[in-house]
Structure 1
Amino acid sequence: MSYLLANTEPSTTQSISESTLNALNIDTNGSHFIASLAMKISDWILSPLGLQHSTSAVTWAYAIVVFAIAFIVGYIAKWIIIGAVRHFGNHTQSDLYKYLRQENFFLKLCRMIPAIVFLILIQFTLVYTRSTLANLLTKLTLLYVIYVTAIALSALVGAIWAHFNASRNKRHLPLRGLVQLVRGIICIVAVIIAVAVLVDKSPASLLAGLGAFAAVLMLIFKDSILGLVAGVQLSENDSLHVGDWIKVNGTDANGTVTEVTLTSVKVENWDKTTTMLPPYSLISGSFTNYRSMQVSNTRRIQRSYMIDADSVLPLTPEMLDEFRKIPFMDDFITRKLAQKAAGKVEDVNNSEGLPDGTIDTNLGLFRAYMKMWLDNNKFVDSNSTCFVSTLQQTGGGIPFQIYCFTSTSAWLPYEAMQDTIFEHLAAMLSRFRLYCFEQPSGRDTVIDGFLSPGGKVERVFGMPYPFFNRDASSPVGPENWPVEPKLQSQPSAPSQPASGSGSKQQ
């Protein structure tokens, strides 16, 4: 019984077979209780099987028992630590703790406790006489510890990033790529340490020899390196935020940026599709960012309405009197006539603050009306540029351009405001004796064929307003068409127009 532990009780040593002690030859100066417990359990397992004299069986049984003890100790420690952390979390309002819980950081950290306990017990028992088995188990345990540590550190980095992004990153800078870079460094360091453990080399020596593979690593991580550089440039220049609306020329990307990583920029397009772009393509090429428009809460309207040049007429006093009935026009015409009588012609930059426009043509007067109508429209931003102009005439007419900014940048209200402006413009053309230019259609050909032989214009529904009778009694739709008389065998003489208080009898 020369292998008994120091200060071991006789009853304890007698219960452990001598073969077990001989197989292990344990140095128990610092682990008397656990080693004795492990030996008892091993002897209890092997004795019924008759394997208590097998050195290999005793050694592996002892290793398995140590592993089970380490697992139980680790489970108890994890239960205590997780319980304490949850109790602490119920009394704190820290956002960082919340994100650590979301990343399961504490659970991942506790996974290394059984491995550490197993590593300590193996070192205290088998390392002196069973160096081969101890070395193998030590390496496997260290690899597991390295893996669990890397996972826990990655979760810690993710929690810190989430806390920073929620509380500090008010501009939504695309810093997620930097988080991925830190995680990548953690993985590379973990792999280097794991290889060093397997080959029994110092990690420093492996890092020194890593320069020989720099070219290969550059090729393997080319996209990551380019993505990192592009992400740093985008962040430094404040060119891109998560949540920005961007449009990338030459691609289908036209929507909101949802994620920026080392290797890709994810854009959710307006048609609910997703476009993935490499970050360096945004640096090497060009893209449009609508963030400033969104921040200003305004959005530009720049559209033209084609005016038929034949409808542009010089104004007469009678026409001016007619146009005075239109909103904003009475005061404008009065003041412009007063300036004209005083010998002032201020159709541009009027000294009295009148909008640009003239009282010489109906188109110039319509320009002034639309400018005043836009200035008094609550949907148009009064602090932004707003003007009404005509562009160079084309074969399709005179482009009548509206340039202004809406009071919101939201998509649906913007479209509704734009529709309201141009619907009002179309409706007011006839009030100024203007009409739009439209290409002739098949319906126009049919109408021309109907009217040329002498057909009645009242029978034509939707006739362009310069030509149809605008009296109150004129028909407005097919339901008011006059009933044609039945055809006679002999054509009747045409009816005479009414004269005086009565009409002639036929």
Structure 2
Amino acid sequence: MEAWNQLYHEIINNELLRAALLFGFSFLAYFLAKKFIVETAHRLSRRSANPWDDLLSQHKVYNIAAYAVVLLVVHFGAHFLPRFQPVLERLVEVGWTVLVVLLLDRLLSVGVSAYERHPISKEHPIKGYVQIAKLFVYAAGTIIALATLFNRSPWVFLSGLGALSAVLLLIFRHTLLSFVASFQIVSQDLFRIGDWIEMPKFGADGEVIDIALHTVKVQNWDKTIVVIPTYKFLEESFKNWRGMELSGGRRIKRAILVDQSSVKLLDDELLARLKKVHLLKDYLDRKLREIEEYNRSQGIDTAASPLNGRRLTNLGTFRIYIEEYLKHHPKIRKDMTLMVRQLAPTPQGLPLEVYCFVADTRWIPYEKVQADIFDHILSTAGEFDLRVYQMPTGNDLKEGLKALWNPKSRPNA
């Protein structure tokens, strides 16, 4: 018994030992609170069907309870250290302020996560506004904590901020610009989460996955992530493909190069062959009748020269064939622009451009349809006695040199 009394008096008289015990009890209280209160709350959340419990657990709202227990232990144990009691009580007040700020921060995050589970969040994201609210919470918490720590009125610090307004504007310049940009992005519906945007200056070509106060995250099609400052969307141009997706048609605008030396008037042999083509039969019957009536009405003798009167060409007929092919294609939108046109001749050949819209806006189906169309065009050009232009390859040069050095291999040798 005397040993316990002696130990008690030692603790009472030894301030350093009392401080160590207070620290030890605080650590033990934190460990027990985390073990029994926090982990129990997490376990109950996992068992509960309520989604809010999961969000509170995900954002570690329950963990604040462990810190609150520590502050309570320090608050009630401060009177054992009378010399440090005023300082400890002030630090506890600052600690409560910090905990309230953390609690508000995490509750706001819970609100954002709950909101993002609804489809409307893609059209009207609130993450940027919530981050502004968090900035105000942290600013207010910092002012209150400093006022408590230095035993001054919060208005003293607020009046000091007025004098530093120019410096604060410089420090928070990007934050203010980002806030304005976030407001305009949402209010004008410039883009949403899930939109496909292109911003070449920043190497962005993919889907928007996050719109925050300071940054917009874009996941490119190669799965890389591009982070763009939000305010840059007010300074730089970008392309949003949402209109294409909403229209239900994705454009094909691609040309093949026709060797201009292969363009010619239709002769009887080629005409007879093309009349057997189902897609051209009605067109050729109608066009030949129209040309014959025109030439007869003008008294033109077409037998005297092929240059007399109107005639069909293999290129023009091929162009009509492609148009008919596209009109009968099940994956092409008939209610949107559809044409095959010639562009200005180039040294590489005459561009024949296909301009139409695929009914499926998804990337892979779109590419398949486009590839099928041009596979068909390239493979049928020869049926019209047309040649598709391409630069000479190594094999072309090899065959040419072989024919040059081996006269027997020449066709007319």
For normalisation by structure 2, the TM-score amounts to 0.82
Q: 2:270 aligns with which of 303, 319, 336?
A: 319
2:178–2:230 CA contact under 8 A, matched in 1: yes
CA deviation vs aligned residue, 1:408-461 (integer Å, no higher than 9, x gap): 2232332222221111111111111111123345544554555577535579xx
Deviations 1:247-282 (A, max 9, x none): 213332222223333332222333343333222122
- Is 1:455 aligned to 2:408, yes or no? yes
CA contact (8 A) 1:174 1:240 kept: no
1:381 equivalent to 2:333? Answer yes
**Amino acid aligned to 1:61:** R
Counterpart position of 2:163? 212
Contact 2:196 2:241 survives alignment (8 Å): yes
Q: CA deviation at 1:192?
A: 0.9
State whether residues 250 and 360 of structure 2, in contact with CA within 8 Å, keep that contact through their aligned partners in structure 1: yes
Q: 2:6 aligns to what?
A: 47
**What's 1:431 paired with?**
383
Higher RCO (CA 8 Å, separation ≥ 6 residues): 2
**CA 1:194/1:291 → structure 2, altered by over 3 Å: closer, same or farther?**
same
- Partner residue in 2 for 1:95: 51
> CA shift at 1:238, angstroms?
1.1
In the TM superposition, what is the alpha-carbon distance from 1:138 to its structure 2 partner? 0.5
RMSD over aligned Cα, in angstroms? Answer: 3.6
SS in 2 for 1:403: strand
Inter-CA distance 313–52: structure 2 relative to 1 (3 Å threshold): closer
Q: Which amino acid aligns with 1:455?
A: K
CA contact (8 A) 2:202 2:228 kept: no
Partner of residue 137, structure 1: 88
Residue matched to 2:300: none
Range that drifts further, 147-156 or 70-79: 70-79
**1:99–1:45 CA distance, 2 compared to 1 (3 A):** farther
Q: Hey, what's the Cα distance between the residues in 2 that align with 1:396 and 1:88?
A: 69
Count of matched residue positions in the alignment of Structure 1 and Structure 2: 398
Preserved CA contact (<8 Å) 2:41 2:62: no
1:271 corresponds to which of 222, 228, 232: 222
CA contact (8 A) 2:30 2:66 kept: no
Q: For residues 12-47 of structure 1, give each alpha carbon's deviation from its aligned partner in whole angstroms, at most 9, with x where no partner exists.
A: xxx9xxxxxxxxxxxxxxxxxxxxxxxxxxx99663
Tell me if the contact between 2:61 and 2:103 (Cα under 8 Å) persists in the aligned partners: yes
**Separation (CA, whole Å) in 1 of partners of 2:311 and 2:259:** 19
- For 1:371, the equivalent position in structure 2 comes to 323
Structure 2: which amino acid aligns with 1:308?
A: D
Structure 2: gaps spanning 5 or more residues:
296-309
> Amino acid of the residue matched to residue 390 of structure 2?
E
Distance change >3 Å, CA 281–CA 69, structure 1 → 2: closer
- Choose 143-152 or 446-455, whichever is displaced more: 446-455
> Which residue identity lines up with residue 306 of structure 1 in the other structure?
L
Structure 1 residues 273 and 322: CA distance shift in structure 2, 3 A: same
CA separation of 1:413/1:62 partners in 2, compared to 1, >3 Å: closer, same or farther? closer
1:449–1:137 Cα change, 3 Å = closer
Q: Distance in 1 between matches of 2:126 and 2:311?
A: 59
Cα deviation for residue 403 of structure 1 reads 0.7
Once the two structures are superposed, residues 150-171 of structure 1 have per-residue CA deviations (whole angstroms, 9 ceiling, x without a partner) of: 2221111101001011125343
**Matched residue SS, 2:227:** strand
Distance 1:52 1:315 in 2: 114
Give the aligned partner of residue 28 of structure 1: none
State how far apart, in whole Å, the 2-side matches of 1:188 and 1:257 are. Answer: 30
Matched, 1:252 2:211: no
CA distance in 1, matches of 2:321, 2:25: 90
Distance across 1 between alignment mates of 2:126 and 2:3: 59
> What's 1:234 paired with?
185
Partners of 1:305 and 1:440 in 2: CA distance: 16
The aligned residue for residue 307 of structure 2 is: none
Q: Deviations over 1:189-225 (max 9, x none)?
A: 1111110111111223322321112122222222222
CA contact (8 A) 1:247 1:289 kept: yes
Query: Under a length normalisation based on structure 1, what TM-score does the superposition of the two structures give?
Result: 0.68
